Chains A and B, each alone.
Chain A
Amino acid sequence: QSVLTQPPSVSAAPGQKVTISCSGSSSNIGNNYVSWYQQLPGTAPKLLIYDNNKRPSGIPDRFSGSKSGTSATLGITGLQTGDEADYYCGTWDGSLSAVVFGGGTKLTVL
């Protein structure tokens, strides 16, 4: 059971938009920055979003992040088949004194 809650799977058609939610508490998301990672099959995770809504250089603006209260959301527009991957949210948890991750969401582009 992960500290952060994500839906196990989401799906959408190519070109469409999808959102992935990440729910936590005041000890983690509510008082800390959220980051998002993309893990393509058989590869290491890759940073997509940091500090709730900032994109590292090289990440297209199709990817966006937001945070409200104790929840965060990753948005992906203009879906491509190459976006099929597992997506993880992560943040610091002050009560656990640890970085915590969501259980991951598998994105299928139909």
Chain B
Amino acid sequence: QIHLVQSGAEVKKPGASVKVSCKASGYTFTSYGFSWVRQAPGQGLEWMGWISAYNGNTNYAQRLQGRVAMTTDTSTSTAYMELRSLRSDDTAVYYCARGSGYESAVDIWGQGTMVTVS
């Protein structure tokens, strides 16, 4: 069974940073990458970027450039997304999702991590 298990909910103050983890199991970690997608309360899906678990290459959404950083740790099969200089409009559920490339569909999703900025 393939699973992506994310870290728990976070409450942060404006200006702080948050780092969300996504632990993968059930497949070869380095054969795929991860997209990170967020969803503000009552809103649609917003793509934040993608990281290759094979070589660490990243592709970030332009509107988040400079504030977001995605990394992976192959020793623990875990992907991370850090968002800095948090604002109230960053309040959202953050999802990691497995994909074969930055432009490709994502087939496995984590359960989501609620980040509240207040």
Contact = CB atoms under 8 A, between A and B. Distances in A.
Interface of A: 2, 32-33, 35, 37, 44-47, 50-51, 56, 88, 90, 92, 96-104
Contacts of A88: 44-45
Interface in B65-112: 95, 97, 102-112
Nearest to B107: A47
Mostly, the A contact residues are: strand
Interface of B: 35, 37, 44-47, 50, 59, 61-62, 95, 97, 102-112
Contacts of A104: 44-45
A8 B104 CA distance: 25
A46 to B, nearest CB: 7
Nearest to A35: B105
A101 B107 contact: no
A101 B111 contact: no
A67 to B, nearest CB: 13
Given A32-B103, A92-B103, A97-B59, A2 B44 contact: yes
Contact of A90 (B50, B105, B112): B105
